[in-house]
Structures are given as C-alpha cells and as structure tokens.
Amino acid sequence: MTQKAETIAATPENGPRNWLNRTVAGAGLTSALGDFCYETTTVILPGFLAVLGVPAAALGLIEGIADAVASFTKMVAGYIADKFGRRKLLVLVGYGLTPLGQALIALAVGWPLILLGRIVSWFGKGLRGPLRDAIVAQSITPDTRGRAFGFHRAMDTIGAVAGPLLGVALLGWAQHLPWETASGPFRLVFWLTLIPGVLAVLAFLILVRDPEQSPNPALKFFSTLRGLPARFKRYLVAVGIFGMGDFSHSLLILAATQLLTPAMGVIDAAQAAGLLYVWRNVVQVATSYPIGMLADRFGQRGVLIAGYGLGVLTAALTALVFATGAGTVVLLAGIFFVAGLYVAVQEALEPTVTAEMVSQDTLATSYGALGTVNGAAKFVSSAAVGVLWTAVSPSVSFAVAAILMAAGALALVRVR
C-alpha cells in the first residue's frame, strides 16, 4: 500500500462509527438538490408531451436514448477516474449539465429539442454517477457500505419527493395564469428547476472531499474490462437481463395519466399522476436506509433478489390494470408503492454488491460498467415498452417487461 493510500485509510472519515461523514452527507445533499431539479421534469414531462400531442412511443424512445447516453458515459467516466485518480471536477461538470438540459426542454415546441435536453441532462448524470459512488465508497469502511449508500439514496429521493411536489403545486397554480398555449404552465415549472440544479453544483464543490487515489497511467480500458472478476461479469449479465424489462418510470406516470384522464381531464390527471410518482418516491426515501441495514445484516445479494421480484410485480400489476381497465387512484397508488420498494432496493444495493466483487483500484470502472449495462438495458426496455404500447397495447408491453425482469431475477439467483 502506498503512503497516500495508507493516509486515506487512516482518516477518521473511514472509521466505522463515522460513516455519516462530511463526504457522505455532502454527496447526499447534492443528490437531493440534483433530483429536485430533474425529477420535477420527470414528473410533469408526460403531461407536457400530452399537451404537445407527442405519442407514447416517442416518450419511450426519448427516455431510452437518454438512458443509453448516460450508460456509455458512465463507462468512460469511470475509466478516466481510475486512470488519473481525480474525480471531483468531472462530477461538478456532470451536475452542471443537468440545469442546461432543463433549459432546453423549457424552450421545446416538439420532441426533438426535448430529446436533446434529456440527452444533455442524462450525459451529465452518467458523467457524475459512478465517480460520485466511488468517492462515497472510499470514504467509508466495507462493513458500513449498505447503510451509507442507503442514506445517500434516501437523500437522493428526498429531492425526488420535494421537487415533484412543488412542481405539481406550481403546475396547478400556473394553469390559472393567462397563457397563449396550454404548454405555458409546464414551461414555467421547467425554468424554475434551474435553481436547485445550480445549488447542487455549489453543494458538491463546497462539502465533498475526494479521497483521491494514486494515478494509474498504465491502466488500459479494454484490458481492465477483460480483467474484471468472472463473478462480477455474471452479475452484470443478471443486471442487464433485469434491466431489459426495467422500463423508465416516466412510462408509469404516462400510464397513470392516460388511465385517469377520462374521469379527470388531462391537467388534473397529470397532477394526480405526478402525486402518485411523489408517493413512489416517499416510499423509496422511507425504505432506503432500512433496506441498507437489512443488507448489511443478512446479505446484500438476497435482499437484491427480493427487490427484483418486486419489480416483476410492478410490471405485472400495471399490465393487469390496463387489461381490466380498473385504473383507480387507489389501485395505482398500490402499484407505485411496490415500485418505490423495488427501486429503493435496486439503487441502494446494486452499487454495494459491485463493491464487494471488485478491487478498489478498478472501482470507478466497475461502477461505470454497472451503469453502462443498466443504461443500455433501459434503452431497450423503455423503447420496447413505448413501441409495443403504441403498436400493440399497453397491457402487452408491460407483460413483456415483467417476463424479462423475472428472467433477470432468476439469473441473479444463480450468481454465487
């Protein structure tokens, strides 16, 4: 171990009693502000597209392409961080791109500029994600990773609750103002999301300390990927299969909007769907830390498998609702509840399982590989669900998603 690595390992922040250190807390606050910014857009974007007359297939492609861009960005960003040892500047750039993407969406009059805005935002998300996770993982001890990442995801989701709540409230208030078009209230909310986006950049700059590792200039991209442990590669296969059914929850919001529109009208249905998404995020923030503690105590892989099972249930129930036409607010609230549980498990434990399987000198690259697999699979899932929704039926599209998620869960069971 180098002198620099020994210094990092001996810092008080790495003590088991100090897992909630300045870096973990600062990364959590930054994520809360970042989610406040872009999750507000996520919750009202389906309604915005409905006002503009954009079909479900376009939403699926927009979300799928954005996820694909984020995924491949994660891979490259992780490799660069492991090679040069510095990560904080790239994370700051990533957080700065999110409000820029929001501004592009606010200016959009059709799907092309919306797509560009989502690509810019998700490029930033891909750039910062694995590097931020590596910083958090190296600021704590291995036996506290579950609770640290659970706390981080809980903070992340606090922003995803507060942002959409305020966004839905602002949307309801803004619709009573004089507008030339029905899209005006949505555009106002998009512009306001720039404020927390800028604050996220400042929070990470001021609070987070990067325990920089020594540069590794000899690190080669493809040889590093080939050298990743075989067990980790099998794990990525399972994650990828599950991800091919793990559709963007923008489509779940669109589903609620469409099911509720006949009884409520499009604006009220969009607000109700937004509140259901907030409810999903409340469930996620309430369960993320307890899930991390359970994983630390009983094993991370088993809890992750259970979470994948909840993902299957989410897709299956959504297909059933469309098939029966029983889309009540209460039933939809139950579906969003299950969705919140499985996302809490997935986001808290996929990074911790990764950290257990790989060496520390390739941790950021491994997180990049995880993000790439997740994003590429989500591109397939979101695009396929959106196209099947438009070309066949929404019930068929969500049923196919449930089958793929079940296959991923079974593949994870086989990973030892």
Q: What is the pLDDT of residues 237-247, one digit of tens each?
A: 999 999 999 88
7 to 25, 83, 236: CA distances (angstroms): 21, 20, 33
Task: State residue 240's pLDDT score.
Answer: 92
Instruction: Look at residue 172 and tell me whether its pLDDT is greater than 60.
Output: yes
- Confidence band, pLDDT 50/70/90 cuts, at residue 216: low
Residue 416, SS3? coil
DSSP annotation of 193 reads T
Per-residue HEC secondary structure of 233-249 comes to HHHHHHHHHHHCCCCCH
185 — pLDDT class (breaks 50, 70, 90): confident
* Residue type for position 356: E
Using alpha carbons only, give the angle 286, 207, 33 rounded to the nearest 5 degrees: 45
For residue 163, is pLDDT > 90?
A: no
pLDDT, residue 28, reads 87
Selection from 59-63, 117-121, 213-217, 374-378 with the highest mean pLDDT = 117-121
In terms of pLDDT, which residue wins out, 209 or 4?
A: 209
Q: Which residue has the higher pLDDT, 222 or 262?
A: 262
CA-based torsion, 338, 343, 348, 353: positive or negative: positive
State how far Cα 301 lies from the chain centre.
20
pLDDT exceeding 70 applies to what percent of the chain? 90
CA distances from residue 295 to 23, 33, 225, 305, 346 in whole angstroms, order as listed: 22, 27, 27, 11, 12
Percentage of the chain exceeding pLDDT 90: 16
Q: Measure CA 78 to chain center.
A: 17
Give the pair of three-digit tokens for residue 364: 């950021």
Nearest to 158 by CA among 48, 288, 60, 303: 288
Lowest mean pLDDT among 102-106, 127-131, 286-290, 361-365: 361-365
Average pLDDT over residues 41-50: 79
- Other Cβ atoms less than 10 A from the Cβ of 317: the count is 18
Burial of 143 (0-12, 13-18, 19+ CB in 10 A): exposed
DSSP codes of every residue in 138-190:
TTS-GGGHHHHHHHHHHHHHHHHHHHHHHHHHHHHHHTTS--SSTTHHHHHHH
pLDDT score recorded for residue 318? 92
* Mean residue pLDDT across the chain: 81
pLDDT tens sequence across 329-372: 889 999 999 999 999 898 878 888 887 888 777 777 787 788 77
Between CA 239 and CA 246 the distance in angstroms is 10
Interatomic CA distance for residues 85 and 78, integer angstroms = 10
2 has pLDDT over 50: no
Mean pLDDT of 103-120: 87
Q: Is the Cβ–Cβ distance between 384 and 56 less than 8 Å?
A: no
Fold of 19-208+229-413: Growth Hormone; Chain: A; (1.20.1250)
CA distances to 35, 120, 306, 349 from 133, in Å: 15, 20, 23, 12
- Predicted local confidence at residue 7, as pLDDT: 36
Judge contact between 369 and 75, C-beta under 8 A.
yes
The pLDDT tens digits for 284-313 are 878 877 887 888 787 788 889 999 999 999
